[in-house]
Structure 1
């Protein structure tokens, strides 16, 4: 006859004791079929489901058992299942009832502790775990639960003792060793933590958390290879856990392997795109990866970083790291206005974070909003006087305002606070160089490069020191680093052709493109015949005002303006990379001279115009000025026609005191000399108040291009100019030119020379005291007196 429910339960219990869970479950299910009121059978079905990890399946049989008999053990089992299912509030209610029904039931106390801990009530959980351990002192799990909760509360010595007790009872328990390692790691008992994690891994090689925390231990001990190896093991063992992947990526990033960290972050994001920290950490890794590169590949990396930070902010608008890093990425990308807004938005949320003000200061400095930039830096230093970055940024602001002495003080404070700050040393070098302290500047650049051999700005600035002293071989080699400077990379990204290495071109077309200012282009077109001599068909690309002048230049096959698509070419080279190939020393200069010429027909047109112009005479002198035919005869009779240029682009980075007040030219306004204004742009307004006569060439000249300027120069005897494009044009034309330069001149005028190897027709007059032009123009006036006397004698 069929077995009774009682007999099936007895048989099922025997199978259960023998760990034959499927056979046991079959017997208990059959018992409930025989007798739906068999509480023991329902209880065991629920327990077996839990033992098999099927917690949802355990709920119904456990509740059926409780409906038949309100048992503390059943309530405790129900609480355990609910906790494992994440239904913690329900678990807390069941575990509380179980503990109330039977305060001496260890499992009830333990499950109540688990529910309390899951809800963040750690102190209450510790009390329950301690009670469970007292009720069942031989339970390793009870002591382990107590140890874990004490670790989370920071009671680390007590936690370690509880966990050691657990492991005395169960020495082969991998999780116990893992938890003991955590308690030791929190106390920075690193060798002891390492030993515990290693024991956990020996017992359970697939224990991902033990590998992850052993990686953290090795990281704290400075063992990079071991840290990375165990971090990678954790990620390999748990590839579907975004937090484990994030921890591995953070380890990679901490050891500078940002390129390797980025795809790990991306894999974690693919698993869970809702975690904001993943997106901003990816952005940070991409930014740091970009710092290690000196090519146009940094631009897409920064663009991806910006998108990552924006995604993080969309998920968590209150994530400070995302907003700060967004600003830094925009700043690195050259999007200064957007970066400014990002930092201002962050400051509105976190007004006490010093770094936000420092970074805002750099954005404002790049926008040349110097008073606001200084205020931001000072606020950063008010919040944190020891922030080296803020001192360095303040130095940048002061350099922008040409307050180099004060900038030096700020930079020295920055590197004193952070001697490993390569950018701070480079910035200090800039301030020293602009104080005409080249040797000290070079020492600062050397220090910067010792700290960061790939710092493009330091290489470029050191190149300027070497070029200034005439070391062209080293100087022009290092000058190539200008192409890797952050701002320049944005320009280089538009080109797809390879750079020319100077080899024979075999008749192929080469794009030679202008860079920097007009003067730089005029200086370097001298080398184009040498490019053509190496078998190249030269396509010259430059700004439109140079077109009419340079399309006629020797060596130019085709001229295209900036923004105009060039014809198909095999390779390219920026114009200022040509000296590296063709001017390895001063003896290689000047090559052919003059190497540009004015259009004869245009020169004739300007001669007629200049003869027909009246003089621009200051108010009060008009009654002495000849006009009409008298004016034309006066022009033709002028023994010496002298063009003057007194100002460059005053907002240019290279301005640094090169422009001169027009009033300083007064000593040149003497009998027998006719001054002609070739000035355009900044400084032109000074003509209206000049206390001496200057011929104003009018709107035809102001609206003209460099071909017009060359044509005007062809009708002059001499040009007197500050350091601007005019000196390069006049030098290229071979016109006698007197150049007035400040105490801190541009590198190309070398040191202490009165001549220029670049332009044989240029004579240099050097300022002796910063800002004092009187001595320069007194010397010019004396030289001019000799010239006019010689003309008169002739």
Structure 2
């Protein structure tokens, strides 16, 4: 008997392979197909079956070569359709379309070829043509689930979700255990705003395929539309877990968290998205905005690094799309919060150049310009914002801020009230209205307004701080100094204290540990609080006092001070720290806790003796009356406290009074005014170049100091020198209300304006008092 021919053996092997193939044994079928084709490469069906098998195994690229071997033996609809299917999977859409079209030229009624042509057309963006292809496939084969499914998906993409619903429901009926038809039915229903039905479709898709990331994401969208936000965020979280590299899902999850004001959770999700380096600017600026919202309720030094990260995110957004107005706006806000007002100005100006009619940009620009002292430009920007949007409360409030910065407190009030009429829940506007009222002398109204601000935002540092000033002015020291601690959480103060690493002292026993007491605010504040340093030492601490150099000689020998460190120099082995104006919070509970020992700052006897000799020459007889009329004009508290030198003329007319200038820096030019009309003795360059120890030595040899509200008045009180201070109608909190004395300094007498800005009557009264005044032998009364 003759042996079987190779062709016969080949067909036998291919037949065995087909049996294994039909049984689902792909790994067993493949070598049988290949062995048969090796014996006879002209068996077209063998190449066709091997090509189908390879596609089923996911070896799509390899299948293309195999199907082309089949077609080389004769072009036909089946192999061309199979080729189109493989090319579609490889995203070679134009070639797939050509192959499918050629298949239809052989067999126009071939459903698979119509389907494959539709898939290619859809990928090429020819969705109307694709829909026609899928309809043809479904018409030729009504039970063709993929045709109905693809038709529904394409119609949904074409914005025809109502037409998509029927083929998708048909696909669901044909594939009841498949998740994809349910998912796409959900998409159609979601587009029709039938949110409950969409939710149910997505839930069914997830039941069939629990790890279906896209279904979780779209279910989250359905829950969001149904206002079930807690469930929405749960499914966004699951979608992001299942698809950690899906930028759209990550973005939607982060946006949902931000909508729930869960910014601390949103930030790492955005960070996960931007780590994928997407070329999508909104993701970066959304990250920056989430950080800014997160730090809005935080008041610690850590916000500075976070704001820097926000700034970087906005800059990354702008590197992708320089014309993204939202990124420019958010960059400006982040720079403003970081204290970089000049840079913020440029960001807002760029935003305005890109989109001139956005009121918020003009309003924010106004705030920045006001912060850097460009008040006219700031007011113009705010008024432009109001012109663009009269209902923008922030613009009205910012215009008020601009006027407050110019000490136009009466003019500012109506603008805050306009803001609050539009947006009654705006805590910042309530706070600033309180500032306007307080500076008008309407302290009781201001307190009520601050309380309203805190009702809307219990953690608003400026509201707490200003409320503290109102309480302290009334002498409510216990609560007032507790509220005053909120100054440490104000944005500018956080930036100022960013270099400190030690924890704040809470008042407990120190048990020998070193504590850094550091000066803050002005020189006068340091002098005022220095009296409390011995009480810190009494808690068992080694006190390291840090202050500016002009205070060194005055304070380094203060009782309780173990070491004096000049600002900027390092302090080592420090366990904790306390800003000087936090000491009253620990030690001053009521007026009864003051004044304590006076004097509490020592005067250098050698310096005092030297100045005694000099003053004997400058003013050999009469009352030696030192005068100081101007404070630091750049100080935050410089609100009408400085005095024109000419206003002191009544003092010069008092018989026997000899006026001696102790003024330094600001205001010295007034001595050279040829129209001054009275004589003021000047000290020498030693005094001009000297520090506070030098000033104290001069004061020790005066009969009386007359001063505006500045550090000189504090110094005179601290060394027990009689001192009269002139304060404006709305004075600083420490001089309280309607008193001529102060518990801080028993040698001080206060002369108050009766009319805001009118110093004339103040110095007429002071001159009258000076005519009757005689220095006490003990120099202990004012």
Q: Report the alpha carbon displacement of residue 788 of structure 1 after superposing the two structures with TM.
A: 7.1
Q: Mean Cα displacement is larger for which, 242-251 or 476-485?
A: 242-251
- Residue 621 of structure 1 corresponds to none
- Residue 769 of structure 2 corresponds to 783
- Residue 183 of structure 1 corresponds to 188
Q: Report the alpha carbon displacement of residue 67 of structure 1 after superposing the two structures with TM.
A: 3.9
Using the alignment, how far apart are the partners of 1:111 and 1:752 within structure 2? 92
Establish whether residue 54 from structure 1 lines up as the match of residue 59 from structure 2. yes
- Residue 625 of structure 1 corresponds to none
Q: Report the alpha carbon displacement of residue 483 of structure 1 after superposing the two structures with TM.
A: 1.2
Using the alignment, how far apart are the partners of 1:162 and 1:382 within structure 2? 54
Q: Report the alpha carbon displacement of residue 711 of structure 1 after superposing the two structures with TM.
A: 1.9
1:512-591 equivalences in 2 (<5 Å): 512-591=517-596
- Residue 694 of structure 2 corresponds to 708
- Residue 692 of structure 1 corresponds to 678
Establish whether residue 773 from structure 1 lines up as the match of residue 759 from structure 2. yes
CA distance 1:142–1:378, change in 2 (3 Å): farther
The CA deviation string for residues 279-325 of structure 1, in whole angstroms up to 9 with x for no partner, is: 44443333333333222222222233333333444444444444433
User: Which of the residues 726, 743, 756 maps onto 2:729?
Assistant: 743
Using the alignment, how far apart are the partners of 1:668 and 1:661 within structure 2? 13
CA distance 1:696–1:70, change in 2 (3 Å): farther
Q: Report the alpha carbon displacement of residue 548 of structure 1 after superposing the two structures with TM.
A: 1.4
- Residue 414 of structure 1 corresponds to 419
- Residue 41 of structure 1 corresponds to 46
What is the RMSD of the two structures over their aligned residues, measured on CA atoms? 2.9
Establish whether residue 666 from structure 1 lines up as the match of residue 649 from structure 2. yes
Using the alignment, how far apart are the partners of 2:121 and 2:684 within structure 1? 88
The CA deviation string for residues 385-430 of structure 1, in whole angstroms up to 9 with x for no partner, is: 4333333333322222223344333333334444443333333333
- Residue 665 of structure 2 corresponds to 681
- Residue 780 of structure 2 corresponds to none
Contact 1:425–1:447 at 8 Å: present in 2 too?
yes
TM-score by length of 2: 0.91
Q: Report the alpha carbon displacement of residue 659 of structure 1 after superposing the two structures with TM.
A: 1.8
Q: Report the alpha carbon displacement of residue 565 of structure 1 after superposing the two structures with TM.
A: 1.3
User: Which of the residues 640, 654, 659 maps onto 2:637?
Assistant: 654
Q: Mean Cα displacement is larger for which, 349-358 or 430-439?
A: 349-358
Q: Report the alpha carbon displacement of residue 453 of structure 1 after superposing the two structures with TM.
A: 2.4
CA distance 1:789–1:653, change in 2 (3 Å): closer
Using the alignment, how far apart are the partners of 1:460 and 1:662 within structure 2? 33
- Residue 726 of structure 1 corresponds to 712
Contact 1:302–1:329 at 8 Å: present in 2 too?
yes
Contact 2:461–2:487 at 8 Å: present in 1 too?
yes
> For 1:569, what is the secondary structure of its paired residue?
coil
> For 1:759, what is the secondary structure of its paired residue?
coil
- Residue 620 of structure 1 corresponds to none
Using the alignment, how far apart are the partners of 1:311 and 1:789 within structure 2? 69
Contact 2:83–2:96 at 8 Å: present in 1 too?
yes
Q: Mean Cα displacement is larger for which, 60-69 or 701-710?
A: 60-69
- Residue 203 of structure 1 corresponds to 208
CA distance 1:104–1:540, change in 2 (3 Å): same
Q: Report the alpha carbon displacement of residue 578 of structure 1 after superposing the two structures with TM.
A: 0.5
Establish whether residue 29 from structure 1 lines up as the match of residue 12 from structure 2. no
TM-score by length of 1: 0.89
Q: Mean Cα displacement is larger for which, 489-498 or 300-309?
A: 300-309
Contact 1:99–1:112 at 8 Å: present in 2 too?
no
- Residue 606 of structure 1 corresponds to 611
> For 2:447, what is the secondary structure of its paired residue?
helix
- Matched length: 769
- Residue 616 of structure 1 corresponds to none
Contact 2:382–2:396 at 8 Å: present in 1 too?
yes
Q: Mean Cα displacement is larger for which, 493-502 or 306-315?
A: 306-315
CA distance 1:130–1:557, change in 2 (3 Å): same
- Residue 627 of structure 1 corresponds to none
Contact 1:279–1:309 at 8 Å: present in 2 too?
yes
Contact 1:242–1:272 at 8 Å: present in 2 too?
no
Using the alignment, how far apart are the partners of 1:323 and 1:478 within structure 2? 36
User: Which of the residues 228, 248, 255 maps onto 1:250?
Assistant: 255
User: Which of the residues 309, 312, 316 maps onto 1:307?
Assistant: 312
Establish whether residue 460 from structure 1 lines up as the match of residue 494 from structure 2. no
Using the alignment, how far apart are the partners of 2:646 and 2:117 within structure 1? 91
Using the alignment, how far apart are the partners of 1:150 and 1:450 within structure 2? 53
Using the alignment, how far apart are the partners of 2:775 and 2:632 within structure 1? 35
Contact 2:345–2:369 at 8 Å: present in 1 too?
yes
- Residue 624 of structure 2 corresponds to 641
Q: Report the alpha carbon displacement of residue 10 of structure 1 after superposing the two structures with TM.
A: 4.9
CA distance 1:445–1:166, change in 2 (3 Å): farther
The CA deviation string for residues 68-109 of structure 1, in whole angstroms up to 9 with x for no partner, is: 444455444434433433334444444555556655444444
CA distance 1:582–1:38, change in 2 (3 Å): same
Specify every segment of 5 or more residues in structure 1 that has no aligned partner in the other structure, as ranges.
Answer: 614-634
Q: Report the alpha carbon displacement of residue 526 of structure 1 after superposing the two structures with TM.
A: 0.7
Using the alignment, how far apart are the partners of 2:518 and 2:64 within structure 1? 77
CA distance 1:410–1:57, change in 2 (3 Å): farther
Q: Report the alpha carbon displacement of residue 662 of structure 1 after superposing the two structures with TM.
A: 1.9
- Residue 111 of structure 1 corresponds to 116
CA distance 1:19–1:408, change in 2 (3 Å): farther
CA distance 1:295–1:388, change in 2 (3 Å): same
Establish whether residue 758 from structure 1 lines up as the match of residue 744 from structure 2. yes
Using the alignment, how far apart are the partners of 1:265 and 1:319 within structure 2? 18
Contact 1:241–1:271 at 8 Å: present in 2 too?
no
The CA deviation string for residues 656-704 of structure 1, in whole angstroms up to 9 with x for no partner, is: 2222222222222213222222222222222222222222224333222
Contact 2:703–2:775 at 8 Å: present in 1 too?
no
